Amino acid sequence: MGEARAQDRKVLRVLSGEAISPPPAWMMRQAGRYLPEYRATRAEAGSFLDLCYNPAFATEVTLQPIRRFGFEASILFSDILVIPHALGQGVRFVEGEGPRLDALEGRAEFEKLRDVGDDAIFSHLAPVFEAVTSIRAALPQETTLLGFCGAPWTVASYMIGGRGTPDLAPARALAASDVGLVEALIDRLVCVQTEYLIRQFRAGADAVQIFESHAGVLPEGDDALSRWSLKPIAKMIAGVRAEVPDAKIIVFCRGSGLDGHARVVPETGASAVGVDWGVDLKALRERVPTTTVTQGNLHPETLIAGGAALDAEVDAILAATHGLPHIFNLGHGITPQTPVAHVERMLARLREGV
């Protein structure tokens, strides 16, 4: 990537510490079911995994929100569960219910996953890297391309439970009964996903985001956030930067509260902290150094509501981050029932104040 092109990418500039007004914007899950063109491509692709593993389809749905809205960043269309799938775990997506995995209940299942070699893993994931390269070639030069993966604890919780549950009871129970097994699984995911992110950078990603969607539900114990979330993420970031020294990495620790969000950058080495909708962004900005890069935290339900409430929340985010390095985003992923017109209104308010 040429230096001149990098300078045109506003999200990269913010991730380097620059304050830009108005801030650049993208949305988590911006390629998704709220868009009619996504639904059409999804139907053509067949299964959700076919959509993820077909570089042409993955490229198309990644580009759709850029064409429609002109977001300053595009995020690779894939899923955090392609990693357990590449490790040999059964993964499927049930319409209307979400992901289902063949639950990892004990050491026998783990040993099978641990025996899968890197050649097999990254051969399985080759279509993802092909999609990254294809997307980067097709994007406007000024648009930042984000890769991503799930954080080890979040991915492990799906692998153990076989699905997402509000309390993550299966993963937390296994951590209580066989902590060594869960630690070994976390370590395995750190290694595999570090290489996964390195290969995304090499394929053309400008930056990446690590999604710790389950930071609010962790095993019992002293400083569980550090043990199960921040330290494994820090290992990943250090590993990526050993190969990609200036790698820009956003960490989103959903549910970790004001204290947890304030710890993300200093304890992981992240370039930015993604802020969920449950955190007071103004309070966080007052607590962290002015050089800290933040991202978020519009409530997805406010985007559904639209109108004056949406305008007010956009204005509040702009006020809280004025003169500070910030990337405009939601505090969690956009939901399928969100009206397209409300996204247009949000961006008009952000970009023009109207």
Please list the active-site residues: 29, 33, 42, 79, 158
Strand 91-94 with 272-275, pairing = unpaired
Q: How far apart are CA 58 and CA 119, in angstroms?
A: 23
38 marked as binding residue: no
The answer to whether 332 is a known ligand-binding residue is yes
Annotated binding residue at 32? yes
Backbone φ and ψ of 201, nearest 5°: -60, -45
CA distance 250 to 100: 27
Nearest Cα to Cα of residue 113 among 156, 161, 164, 147: 156
Nearest 5°: the CA angle 10, 38, 44 is: 135
Q: What whole-number distance in Å separates Cα of residue 325 and Cα of residue 4?
A: 21
Name the residue among 320, 330, 323 with its Cα closest to residue 286.
320
Furthest C-alpha separation in the chain? 59
Compute the distance between CA of residue 290 and CA of residue 261 in angstroms, rounded to an integer.
15
Q: Which residues of 307-338 are buried (b: 16+ CB within 10 A; e: fewer)?
A: eeebbebbeebbebbeebbbbbbbbbbbeeeb
Return the ∠ at Cα 229 (arms to 224 and 231), rounded to 5°. Answer: 95
H-helix or E-strand spanning residue 74: strand 73-75
- CA 50 from chain centre, in angstroms, equals 20
- 295/249 Cα distance (integer angstroms): 12
Q: By C-alpha distance, which of 218, 299, 216 is closest to 259?
A: 216
Whether residue 79 is annotated as binding a ligand: the answer is yes
269 labeled part of a ligand binding site: no
Q: Which amino acid is at 282?
A: K
Is there a binding annotation on residue 33? Answer: yes
Annotated binding site: 29-33, 79, 158, 213, 332
Annotated binding site for substrate: 29-33, 79, 158, 213, 332
